[in-house]
Amino acid sequence: MITSVYDPLDESFQLDPYPAYRRLRQDEPVHYHEPVPAHGEPGFWALSRFEDIWQAVRDHGTFSSASGLTYHHDEIAKLGLAPTMVMMDPPQHRRLRALISKAFTPRRVAMLEDRLRAFVRTRLTVLESKAADGATPNLHVDFSSPLPSFVVAHLLGVPQQERDRFDPWVSAIVSLTQGGLRADQMSGNDAVQQMFEYFGRLITIRRTEPGEDLISALIAAEIDGDHLSDWDILGFCFNIVAGGNDTTSNLISHGVVLLDRFPRQRDMLLTNRDIIPNALVEFLRMESSVQALARTTTRPVKICGTEIPEGEKVMMLYGSGNHDEREFGDTAEELDITRDIPRHLGFSNGVHFCIGSHLAWLQARVAYEELLAAHPNIGVDLDHAQRLRSAFTRGWHSLPAVNLTTGAATGS
């Protein structure tokens, strides 16, 4: 069912939000969403046009992140955790980001490529083995989802023998954030606590026995005598898991869905693999893994003739902005892997531009280089797929794969 009514908790909207976004952009670019007490949904505002969102997320003085990222006003208190970097404004945010960036560098990420490529090939083998056995391979479960979990575990120095403990923690945090950090959806709270206790012990060990992992590098990061605290490092661990796992896996899965939907674009990509990086940007624009996050106004602000009062939650509808015809032209809702995209909202912008974007691009690029080399005609069975239900992210629980190349060899 297609709906043109914006209701982030409505199932039909979550399955296909784009008609509702289109109507908002056309008729009500600054929208007030009335409270829905029966759903525990407060009133909030929503911005749907690209330029309005772009300017808002760059104006942290007016649109603050310090009250959380969802439309719930008390989410930080309900979490029971101190705010992490994504829930801070400058100057506190600027200090943490600068220190973390000293350790979490593009060079450190690039060093993962060979190890990541080898792991991608093992996941392709899982798909192929299932197909050979007459079972249904699942692109999202068997291929896309394991990649970020593997990469984050390796970055943070989780030993191979302890990955069985790490993966459930990741699943718990991802489930929690998909629900928008709602206290009534925190069935994974115990797992989150276990992860924090584990990394707390690991940080203590690394302070006296540093290794080659990212946690050791974060401990060593220093600017003018300033260092990261244990909580700063724990908060980063939480952010990289919560913000990087499902978003990256959904980018990878959505790309196959889009190539299935636009077969001429697939043909173009198979003819010229050099445009994979640009294609990934277009995949993320077309199907933004993060559809919306909120900021809170610190003063009254007028946009498109409508005044939003001080202290109001404002949802930045990234998924809508990335389809805005005013920014991307008449073909905004069509896939064009050669599109020139000087700016987009797939990683937000401003001070909160995604600090892990270089890690996401590496994973997605390697995944597509290997996937298309082994299975150039891979497709998906949408009739038996299961969409993620979330007011904030867009993705998959399950995505059966079809058209795997029989007897494929996954590189040398």
Give the pLDDT score at 116.
97
The terminus-to-terminus CA distance of the chain in angstroms comes to 46
Q: Average pLDDT over the chain, rounded to whole?
A: 90
Check the CA dihedral 249-254-260-264 and report its sign: negative
Residues 370-406 pLDDT 10s? 999 999 999 999 999 999 888 899 999 999 999 997 6
* 8 A C-beta contact, residue 332 and residue 22: no
Residues near 120 by Cβ (< 8 Å), separated by ≥ 6? 147, 366, 367, 370, 371
Rounded CA separation 31/42 (Å): 14
Rounded CA separation 259/87 (Å): 35
Binned at pLDDT 50, 70 and 90, residue 242 comes out as: confident
Residues near 370 by Cβ (< 8 Å), separated by ≥ 6? 117, 120, 121, 124, 410, 411
Give the pLDDT score at 228.
95
| 65 closest CA partner among 186, 165, 181 | 181
Residues 62-97 pLDDT 10s? 999 999 898 888 777 666 666 788 889 999 999 999
| 289 closest CA partner among 253, 339, 335 | 253
Pairing of strands 306-308, 301-303: antiparallel
Q: How far is CA 368 from the centre of its chain?
A: 18
List Cα–Cα distances, 224 to 106, 221, 227, 305, 353, in angstroms: 22, 10, 9, 46, 24
pTM listed for this prediction: 0.93
Residue matched to tokens 């290794």: 211
Rounded CA separation 77/67 (Å): 10
Q: Where is pLDDT greater, at 399 or 188? A: 399
Give the containing element (helix H, strand E) for 371: helix 357-374
